[in-house]
Amino acid sequence: MTMDRSIGGSVTAPRIKIVEIDAFERDISLRLPFRFGAATLEKAPQAFLRVRVEDEAGKSAIGAAAEMMVPKWFDKNPALTPAQNVDQLRGSIRVATAASREPSAPMTLFAAARLNEMETARRLPGNPLAAGFGPSLIARAALDAYCRLAGFSFFEVVSRNLIGIGGPMLPGDIDADAVSAVLAGFRPAGSISARHTIGLLDPITESEIVDPVDDGLPQSLEAVIARYGNRWFKIKLSGAVDADIDRLARIAAALDHLPDYRVTVDGNEQFTAVDELAALLVRIAAMPRLSRLRAAIAFVEQPFSRAITMETPLGNLAAQLPFLIDESDDGDGAFARARRLGYTGVSSKTCKGIYRSLLKAIRIKTAGVPGLFLTGEDLTCQAGLAVQQDLALVSLLGLFHVERNGHHYVTGMQGAPQAEKVRFAAAHSDLYEQGREGPLLSIRDGRIAIASLGAVGYASGALPDFGSMRPLS
C-alpha cells in the first residue's frame, strides 16, 4: 500500500480508490411534527450510501453512511417546495457519485473527499450547503470502508492521520506541520451529554398536549426531562418577539425545577435585523422569571438569514453572549468572515462533511484566539449509522454536549427490518435500549454512552440491510 509522506513529514496515509457507489433511501415519518424556523417537518426520506474502496494491492471493503434528506434547512427559498428541496439533495448525491466514479489515481481519503466536494460544487453552483450533501455522505462511507479494510476504528484512523489531512488540498490558512499533532491530541469520551431540542410546536407541559401519541415515548418537555434526565437544551426561536417571550417563560417554568441546566438558543435565520434580536434580549433581561434561563444561555445560534449574516455585524450583541454560525457556514472561509462580524462559534454537522468539521477544530486549536468554539448540532440524525457516525465525530472533537433530536421526533430505527435492528442493538448495547418496536437511543441522566463506537469501522459494528431499501429515487 503506497503511503503519502507529504503531511508534516512523519505521517503516512494510504491511497485508495472508490470503485463502487450505490445509493438508497427509506421513508421516515415523524412521531411528532418538528417545527424549526418557518418550516414544519412531518416526514422525509433518509438517504443511505454503500461505497466500496480498494487499496493499491487490490484489497477492497464496503462502508456505509446515512443522513436524513431534510427539506427547508439546506435551502430555505420559499419558492421551492419540500419535495423540490429533497430532490436537490438527491441531485447532490447523483452528481457527487458521478464525479467519484470518474477515473482517477489512488489518493488519500482527505484528498478524494475534498476533490469530490469541489467538483460537485462546480457542477451544482448556487447553494454550497445542498451541493455538499452528496460529497459528505460519500466521504463518510469511504472512510467507513477504509476502516473496515484496515481493521481500525474511526478514532484510530483520525488520530493517526491515516485520512491524510495535508498536502495541496489543505486550506492555506492551516499550518500543515500542526495538523498531525492536533489530531493525535483528540481523545474520544465514553459518554456525551445530549442537548435536547425544544421545537416550536413542542408542548412544554403535559397539559398542553393536544394529540397524544401512544408509543410510550415522551411528548412534552416535562416528560422528556423525567425520562431522559437532560440538563442541556436547545430552544428554537420564531423571531416573533412576543410569542418567543411567552414560550420562553413557559420553558423557564419547566427548567427552573432542575438544580442546574444550560441552554442554547437557535434563531434559525428568523431575525431580519440586529435591532430585532437586541429587543428580544432586552425583554428577556427585564423579566425576573427568565433570570435563570438568561444566565444559562451558552450561545445564540444563527439568528439572521444566510442572505444577510455576512453583511450584518453583531455590534454590541457580541459583548452580551457568544454567537455561532450554522447555516452561514457554507465553505472554508465562512468562519473567518463571521469572526470579523463578532461571531466566535461554528457548528459541526456530518451533513456538511466530516473533514470540514476536523478542519474547523484544527483552526480553533491553532488560532491562539481565546473564546473560539465548535459545537455539535443535529439534522435529525436517525438511530443507526447516522447518529452513530455523528456522535463519534463530536466526541473525538472533544465536545462534551451535542444537540440530539432524531430520537425525539422519530421512533427508533424506523423502516429497518427486524434483523437489521437486532444487529445494531447487539453491536451497540450501550447506545441503545429496547423499545416497543426495536432499539431506541438510550439517554440516562442526560448522557449517551458511546464506548461501543470504537468498533472497527466508522462507529458501527453493523451495516444496514441495503436489500430492504429502494434505490435512490
Position 256 in a domain: yes
Position 390 in a domain: yes
Whether residues 117 and 208 share a domain: the answer is no
- What is the pLDDT at residue 360? 98
Q: Identify whether the C-beta of residue 141 lies closer than 8 Å to the C-beta of residue 459.
A: no
| Amino acid letter, residue 244 | D
Position 464 in a domain: no
Position 465 in a domain: no
Q: Identify whether the C-beta of residue 221 lies closer than 8 Å to the C-beta of residue 204.
A: yes
Give the residue from 305, 308, 342, 312 showing the smallest Cα distance to 326.
305
- What is the pLDDT at residue 455? 98
| Amino acid letter, residue 140 | R
14: domain CATH number is 3.30.390.10
Residue 78 neighbours by CB under 8 Å, 6+ apart:
38
CA distance 310 to 34: 28
The DSSP 8-state label assigned to residue 215 in this structure reads S
Last residue of a domain, one of 169, 202, 228: 169
Whether residues 449 and 393 share a domain: the answer is yes
Give the residue from 369, 428, 375, 431 showing the smallest Cα distance to 398.
375
Full domain range(s) for residue 25 = 3-169
Last residue of a domain, one of 169, 203, 221: 169
Position 122 in a domain: yes
Cell matching residue 225 = 426531562
Whether residues 196 and 164 share a domain: the answer is no
Please give the span between the terminal C-alpha atoms of the chain, in angstroms, as a whole number.
37
Q: What is the mean pLDDT of each run of 10 residues along the chain (473 residues)?
A: 39 91 98 94 98 97 98 96 98 98 95 98 97 98 98 98 96 95 97 98 97 96 98 98 98 98 98 97 98 98 98 98 98 97 98 98 97 97 98 98 98 97 98 96 98 98 98 94
- What is the pLDDT at residue 207? 97
Task: Give helix 241-255 / helix 221-228 axis angle, nearest 10°.
Answer: 30
Residue 352 neighbours by CB under 8 Å, 6+ apart:
129, 132, 136, 329
CA distance 215 to 469: 25
Cell matching residue 443 = 439517554
For every residue of 421-453, DSSP letters joined together read: HHHHHHHTTTTEEEETTEEEE--BTTEEE-GGG
Whether residues 195 and 245 share a domain: the answer is yes
Position 184 in a domain: no
- What is the pLDDT at residue 3? 40
Work out how many domains the chain is built from and give that number.
Answer: 2
Whether residues 235 and 120 share a domain: the answer is no
Whether residues 160 and 251 share a domain: the answer is no
Whether residues 152 and 86 share a domain: the answer is yes
- What's the pTM? 0.96
- What is the pLDDT at residue 38? 86
Whether residues 134 and 268 share a domain: the answer is no
Whether residues 210 and 286 share a domain: the answer is yes
- What is the pLDDT at residue 8? 38
448: domain CATH number is 3.20.20.120
